[in-house]
């Protein structure tokens, strides 16, 4: 049976949904593939909100300055400008589409977060912002007959023919066999890779598959060494690493050590409102100093009714684990949260592979630099998802038709497996468990040549195992990309910290890392992309 469509979008978070809506608006048909249910994505779990300069005392120039400040010298300025300026328009549009953000007296309610110079964070349901955004975008997408969702269909690889991405191969959820879906273009919006780490705030689906597939297909990846660790994840034995939002510190929460003493003023002039990388390292330092395993966030100085209203999801979750945030400090420690690197794109989502576009956390536009500013991720997904969808639709009009798909019997059907599904599952579980611990211990918040070299040695050994199937191979590939880039960058900058190179070095290292199958890890200047810049031509010129 032939399977083809006009466009494929991989992922149903804010970037994927916005890309699909933009493509469908031009009259084309779109299939949105999701690994789990359509609503399951990093967007769904986003609590803090969306940063956007819409309040009366704010300006896009201030938002731009804050973004660049957090990015530690690696933000591409044109990308930041697009984010903050286009973000205003797309957020107003999202509100028109029915997204209900919190208000007071009919006016939008803005809050403060770390490293922001203004109260510019919009939130919904207190701390359920991502859920509300997904609800609004899904409702609009499901009302459009040109958009079709295929849930529980894990994408396995990209179809590349004659140097162009022509579709995807995915695991059919009904018959558990590999299928091909051909299209004029593919938009990757598959999210991040937080599951690479033993402790993470990310959902189970955040395994970096999109990055690995793009790399295998020949696309370039950038800035993979920059992994952001959120300072305050719930640290209770037996409980998931539930995110305790940045907004808790923005509203006045303070961090205390095991001795009950506030410590952040000793580490940074902005104390709890310092950038995330500084707060995370401060907590690690304090844990080592006190020989303990947890710090605490203390909200007890704030009004209890305000806390229950402002953080209802966090309040209820902590309560289920025997903790009342209105009465006692809550144990926290850092956890992997966001990756600034990803598939390298220009401002319109174009990658270095024809026919492949990317947006959201899977992509790297250079907008975040070395360290993402709090609450810029949802705005990035919205803005660059729309831009990628629009660019893909426009370019595909001049592209060849998808053509006839290959016979599905040529795929990696379940009947062709060389081992039982049970054995494959056991191997995958063992690989993931080992990689996650290795990444946490050797490629985590604090790194060194010794730790990174040891991690790479073991990861390369795992990669050589012939028993690895596609999901496990993708997982190991992304871990290797992070570790190689981290070893290559011999300085500390933003979220990347090296014991052996503790200071930033602008003279040598104010560059992006570029990772490709053909040239390994190399450097690219921090540049201002033009709106029509073509990364494919830039890649050819460099080679």
Q: Where are the beta strands (DSSP E) in 235-367?
A: 254-256, 295-298, 330-339, 342-344, 356-358, 363-364
Residue 134 DSSP label: H
Cα 542 from Cα 533, distance rounded (Å): 15
Under a CB-based contact definition with an 8 Å cutoff, are residues 277 and 70 in contact? Answer: no
Under a CB-based contact definition with an 8 Å cutoff, are residues 214 and 351 in contact? Answer: yes
- Cβ neighbours around 98 below 10 Å, total: 12
Backbone angles phi, psi at 329, to 5 degrees: -65, 150
Cα 386 from Cα 359, distance rounded (Å): 9
Task: Pull the structure tokens for residue 291.
Answer: 């020989």
Cα 203 from Cα 194, distance rounded (Å): 8
Which residue in 276, 350, 387, 436 is the catalytic one? 276
Under a CB-based contact definition with an 8 Å cutoff, are residues 182 and 403 in contact? Answer: yes
The residues, any chain, with a CB within 8 Å of residue 320's CB and separated by 6 or more, are none
Cα 491 from Cα 506, distance rounded (Å): 9
Under a CB-based contact definition with an 8 Å cutoff, are residues 135 and 142 in contact? Answer: no
Nearest alpha-carbon partner for 212 in 435, 420, 419: 435
276 carries an active-site annotation: yes
Give the chain's end-to-end CA distance (angstroms, integer): 40
The residues, any chain, with a CB within 8 Å of residue 27's CB and separated by 6 or more, are 146
The residues, any chain, with a CB within 8 Å of residue 500's CB and separated by 6 or more, are 448, 449, 490
Strand partners, 227: 339
Cα 298 from Cα 252, distance rounded (Å): 9
- Cβ neighbours around 160 below 10 Å, total: 18
Angle between helices 14-25 and 377-396 (to 10 degrees): 30
Residue-wise burial string across 456-467, b where 16 or more C-beta atoms lie within 10 A, e elsewhere: beebeebeeeee
The three-class DSSP label of residue 188 is: strand
Nearest alpha-carbon partner for 87 in 373, 348, 378, 341: 378
The residues, any chain, with a CB within 8 Å of residue 137's CB and separated by 6 or more, are 14, 17, 18, 21, 94, 97, 99
Under a CB-based contact definition with an 8 Å cutoff, are residues 370 and 224 in contact? Answer: no
Nearest alpha-carbon partner for 265 in 286, 244, 251: 286
Active site residues: 276
């Amino acid at each position: 049976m032939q399977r083809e469509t006009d466009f494929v979008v991989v992922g149903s978070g804010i970037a994927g949904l916005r890309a699909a809506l933009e493509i469908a608006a031009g009259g084309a048909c779109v299939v949105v593939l999701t690994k789990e249910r359509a609503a399951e994505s990093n967007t769904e779990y986003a609590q803090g909100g969306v940063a956007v300069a819409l309040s009366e005392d704010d300006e896009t120039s201030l938002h731009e300055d804050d973004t660049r400040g957090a990015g530690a010298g690696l933000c591409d300025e044109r990308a930041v400008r697009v984010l903050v300026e286009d973000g205003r328009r797309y957020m107003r549009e999202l509100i028109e589409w029915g997204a209900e953000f919190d208000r007071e007296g009919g006016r939008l309610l803005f809050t403060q977060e770390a490293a922001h110079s203004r109260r510019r964070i919009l939130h919904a349901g207190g701390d359920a912002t991502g859920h509300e955004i997904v609800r609004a975008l899904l409702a609009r997408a499901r009302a459009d007959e040109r958009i079709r969702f295929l849930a529980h269909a894990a994408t396995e690889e990209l179809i590349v023919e004659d140097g162009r991405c022509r579709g995807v191969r995915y695991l059919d959820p009904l018959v558990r066999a590999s299928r091909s879906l051909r299209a004029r273009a593919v938009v990757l919006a598959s999210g991040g890779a937080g599951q690479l780490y033993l402790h993470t705030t990310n959902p189970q689906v955040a395994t970096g598959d999109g990055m690995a597939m793009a790399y295998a297909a020949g696309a370039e990846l950038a800035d993979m060494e920059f992994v952001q660790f959120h300072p305050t994840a719930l640290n209770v034995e037996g409980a998931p690493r539930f995110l305790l939002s940045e907004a808790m510190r923005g509203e006045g929460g303070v961090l205390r050590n095991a001795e009950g003493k506030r410590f952040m003023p000793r580490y940074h002039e902005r104390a709890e409102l310092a950038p995330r990388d500084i707060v995370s390292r401060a907590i690690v330092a304090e844990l080592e100093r006190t020989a303990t395993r947890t710090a605490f966030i203390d909200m007890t100085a704030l009004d209890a009714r305000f806390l229950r209203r402002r953080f209802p999801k966090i309040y209820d979750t902590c309560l289920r684990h025997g903790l009342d945030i209105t009465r006692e400090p809550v144990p926290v420690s850092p956890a992997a949260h966001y990756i600034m690197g990803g598939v390298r794109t220009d401002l319109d989502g174009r990658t270095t592979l024809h026919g492949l576009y990317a947006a959201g956390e899977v992509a790297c536009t250079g907008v975040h630099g070395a360290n993402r500013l709090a609450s810029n991720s949802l705005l990035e997904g919205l803005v660059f998802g729309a831009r990628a969808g629009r660019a893909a639709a426009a370019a595909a009009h001049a592209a060849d038709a998808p053509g006839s798909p290959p016979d599905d019997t040529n795929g990696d059907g379940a009947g062709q497996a060389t081992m039982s599904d049970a054995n494959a599952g056991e191997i995958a579980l063992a690989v993931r468990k080992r990689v996650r611990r290795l990444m946490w211990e050797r490629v985590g918040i604090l790194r060194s040549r010794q730790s990174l070299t040891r991690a790479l040695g073991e990861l390369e050994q795992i990669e050589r195992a012939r028993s690895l199937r596609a999901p496990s191979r993708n997982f190991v590939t992304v871990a290797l990309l992070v570790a190689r880039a981290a070893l290559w960058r011999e300085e500390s900058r933003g979220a990347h910290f090296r014991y052996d190179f503790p200071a930033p070095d602008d003279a040598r290292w104010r560059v992006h890392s570029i990772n490709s199958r053909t040239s390994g890890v190399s450097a690219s200047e921090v540049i201002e992309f033009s709106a029509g810049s073509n990364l494919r031509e830039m890649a050819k010129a460099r080679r």
